[in-house]
Amino acid sequence: MKENGTLDALKRGWRASAEGPDAVLLDGFHALKHALRFGGDVRQVITTDKAGLLELAAGLAEDVRASVDALAVEVPEQVMRALVPRTHPTGVAALATRPADEETRGALWRSPRPAPVVLLENPRNLGNIGAVVRLAAGFGITGVVTTGTQDPWHPNVVRAGAGLHFATAVRRVEPDDLPPGPVYALDPDGADIRTMAFPDDAVLAFGSERQGISPELKARATALVAVPMRPQVSSFNLATSVAMGLFHWMSRGNGTPMAA
């Protein structure tokens, strides 16, 4: 009875925390690892196999193993299924708190910035947003902002981004309230990307998967930029386009070398 009571209390606490407006679901070990590694405020961790989880941490992320050990609570599989809509193959889930608005805005709006901001205008695919966040973290850029209705902290985005939201600044913004800096918008009618360099304080703008850059954003862009593409090929994937833009920024001597 005592064990059942403890599990009931855990489920109540998890559900109450998960319903909070700033709650972030970390689905799987890699999301948890990155949240801990980059200073995320991780509140609760549940797993169906704590010994296996600690073995995984020892093999892949020894730097966060102690934190995982201190936070993780082992629960039966039926409890995990009741609390997490889709159990990750690694058998772990966690709840964290997203960074405060003033923290992300401060990083994105600071001037001068050491690296660009990626703007996704009205993206539709949650997996694409997550992939872009992962790229942002990997390239060490300032952050990712989105316009439109999709929440860039949606659980599916965090899953696709492997928890790397905590390694960069991520937030949704209004179209008329963009971070400062010259706007370079990727558009088929733009100048060849190989003819220009992106400054560190650039806002690199990418349109929606279906419609591309809006006329409004085109009108305010400092420059339109095109990535050469084989004739009769319709488009590149959004995340692929972002990757090419960020690599171009880094490869032309604008990127800050990252520690090994």
pLDDT at 254: 54
| Dist CA 229 CA 237 (whole Å) | 12
Q: With 70 as the cut, is the pLDDT of residue 253 above it? A: no
pLDDT (mean) for 243-255: 84
206 pLDDT exceeds 60?
Answer: yes
Asked if 177 contacts 153 with a C-beta cutoff of 8 angstroms, the reply is: no
Give pLDDT tens digits for 228-242: 888 877 778 899 999
Last residue in a domain, options 69, 97, 125: 97
pLDDT at 214 over 50: yes
Per-residue pLDDT, 256: 52
Q: Which domain holds residue 143?
A: 101-254
Lowest mean per-residue pLDDT among 53-62, 174-183, 202-211, 214-223: 202-211
- Residue where a domain terminates, one of 36, 71, 97: 97
Question: Based on the domain organization, do 70 and 130 belong to the same domain?
Answer: no
pLDDT at 259 over 50: no
Coil, strand or helix: which one is 145?
strand
Query: Which residues are paired to 223 by β-bridges?
Result: 184
**Residue with tokens 């990727």, as numbered in its chain:** 186
Q: State residue 87's pLDDT score.
A: 85
Average pLDDT over residues 233-256: 84
Give dist(CA 129, CA 146) in Å, integer. Answer: 9
**pTM as predicted:** 0.91
Average pLDDT over residues 201-230: 91
Residue 260 has pLDDT above 50, yes or no: no
One domain for residues 110 and 220: yes
Does residue 159 sit in the same domain as residue 223? yes
> Which span out of 11-15, 78-82, 116-120, 208-212 was modeled with the highest average pLDDT?
116-120
Q: pLDDT tens across 97-130, in order?
A: 999 999 999 999 998 999 999 999 999 999 999 9
Domain tally, the chain? 2
Over range 195-212, report the average pLDDT: 90
In single-letter form, the type of residue at position 114 comes to P
Residues 217 and 134 in one domain: yes
The answer on 41 and 149 residing in a single domain is no
Q: Does some domain include residue 259?
A: no
Q: Decide: helix, strand or coil at residue 174.
A: coil
Closest CA to 191 of 237, 233, 224: 224
Give yes or no for residue 4 having a pLDDT over 80. no
* Predicted pLDDT at 208: 84
The residue ranking higher by pLDDT, 90 or 234, is 90
246 and 171 assigned to the same domain = yes
pLDDT tens-digit readout, 10-26: 999 999 999 999 999 99
* Residue 198: Cβ within 10 Å count: 23
Is 206 found in the same domain as 187?
Answer: yes
> Has residue 70 got a pLDDT over 50?
yes
